[in-house]
Amino acid sequence: MTQRMNSRERILAAVRRDAVDYVPCCGFFNPLSSVQRQGHTWNFPWASDAPLPEQLRYQVEELGLDQLVNVGVAAAQTAAGITSRKWQEGDVLHKAYETPAGTLHASVRINDLWPHGQEIPFYSDFNIGHYVEPWIQTAEDLACFQCLQVLRDRDEVVDEARAGLKPSFALAQQYGLATQAVAGMGLTGAQHLFGAADLCLMTIDNPELVDAYLEHEHQMNLARIAALGELGVDIVRRNGFYETADFYGPDMLRRFLTRRLTAETAMAHQGGMVMAYTVHTGVMPILDYLHELPLDSLQGIDIAFGGVDLPAVRDKLAEDKAFWVGPSSTYHIWEGPDATRQAVREVFDCFGKTGLILSQCVSSHSIMPWESTLAMVDEWRRLR
């Protein structure tokens, strides 16, 4: 019988497909923006303005979950002398940066569904549906963008983060939890900057520009991952949400991502960390491609999405990869407790108890029935 573990030990053992005292359950909770919550009730048992320590205490002590403490480092800074301005023309909001390489400009059409007020961020899913003009369209735009993301001295990054992250590491130590940092968005982030349709077309019409952006981000990722390793972080998570067959074929993904993901995973391993990779839909046509990647775990595959064959996913990928998987946000947690319980049973039946971290795919939202999350936790306790 496996010796009793704390949450950190349990999560890391599961990611490495080692024996665990019981299958961990890591909950992901999305409060959504105030715009997204309009017309809905807040159903989380903590207040919408509850501080992170209060939320974490409830999740660990009341629900018994194996939570992660999120940390991060600021590996880049803007070049000196950059200025920005914003203005609005009718319902179109503009923002421009004046950089040593020229002017970088974007514009969006704002309405009741725009959650960022008088701001246009670089990385937001909301950019895509509101763009009038995206941030990056040309090599000149990319040169301007690179002026806004200049690598900092690594020792400075680590020293600053070590001081700033003391409360986060103290929380992890208090509850025996693993720490996680997001490092890299790849084609997901590129969608936010280029626009979805524009990016898909550009991978064919101007692949050199896509490659140049991805290489810029890759170098940022490597620097960030190296710093995280020095800080003793446990898990690096790469956002691959839109790096799937929903948008690209496997050969295109190989061309743009394989070398970079392989190097980033190697850097994580060199720093004593494990790599988690978020994928949600569009996975069935790229199982061979995912099998080729040296990732330690896959997070968030939607088990109820059309065409998903869970046994096929397991048979192709489970030899050397763990799975953060469980009830679908859309198809189970929204539906209610019964559908959620059935999803938990389906996951245990398919994946067993090795290499499994039960978790929502990809999160419980604040407007979803809380009873569904409680059902997930209860069924996990019964089967773990």
For 210-267, write each residue's pLDDT tens digit: 999 999 999 999 999 999 999 999 999 999 999 999 999 999 999 999 999 999 999 9
The residues, ordered by sequence, that sit 6+ positions from 183 with a Cβ below 8 Å of its Cβ are 221, 224, 225, 228, 236, 237, 238, 264
As a whole number of angstroms, the distance between CA 372 and CA 384 comes to 18
If you search the block for the tokens 């067993």, which residue do you land on?
Answer: 352
Contact 230, 271 (CB under 8 A): yes
Determine the pLDDT at residue 1.
64
Whole-prediction pTM value? 0.96
Q: Is the pLDDT of residue 381 over 90?
A: yes
As a whole number of angstroms, the distance between CA 276 and CA 236 comes to 6
The residues, ordered by sequence, that sit 6+ positions from 21 with a Cβ below 8 Å of its Cβ are 1, 2, 3, 4, 5, 10
Q: Is the pLDDT of residue 272 over 90?
A: yes
DSSP 25: B
Q: Is the pLDDT of residue 367 over 80?
A: yes
pLDDT band for position 160 (50/70/90)?
A: very high
Determine the pLDDT at residue 2.
81
H or E element, residue 77? strand 76-77
- C-alpha distances in Å from residue 380, one per residue of 65, 354, 375: 10, 14, 8
Q: What average pLDDT does the structure give for the chain? A: 98
How confident is the model over 183-220, as pLDDT tens digits?
999 999 999 999 999 999 999 999 999 999 999 999 99
Phi, psi of 356 (to 5 degrees): -120, 130
SS3 of 82-143: CEEEEEEECCEEEEEEEECCEEEEEEEECCCCCCCCCCCCCCCHHHHHHEEECCCCCHHHHH
How confident is the model over 66-123, as pLDDT tens digits?
999 999 999 999 999 999 999 999 999 999 999 999 999 999 999 999 999 999 999 9
65: number of Cβ within 10 Å = 24
Average pLDDT over residues 166-182: 98
Determine the pLDDT at residue 320.
97
Specify the domain boundaries for CATH 3.20.20.210 within the chain. 7-76+149-383
pLDDT band for position 281 (50/70/90)?
A: very high
Determine the pLDDT at residue 187.
99
Q: Is the pLDDT of residue 153 over 70?
A: yes
Average pLDDT over residues 338-346: 99
Fold of the CATH domain 7-76+149-383:
TIM Barrel (3.20.20)
Q: Which residues pair with 25 in a beta bridge?
A: 358
% the chain with pLDDT above 70: 100
Average pLDDT over residues 312-341: 98
Q: What's the distance, CA 160 to chain centroid? A: 24
Six token digits for residue 265: 């995973």
Average pLDDT over residues 336-352: 99
If you search the block for the tokens 């290489």, which residue do you land on?
Answer: 215
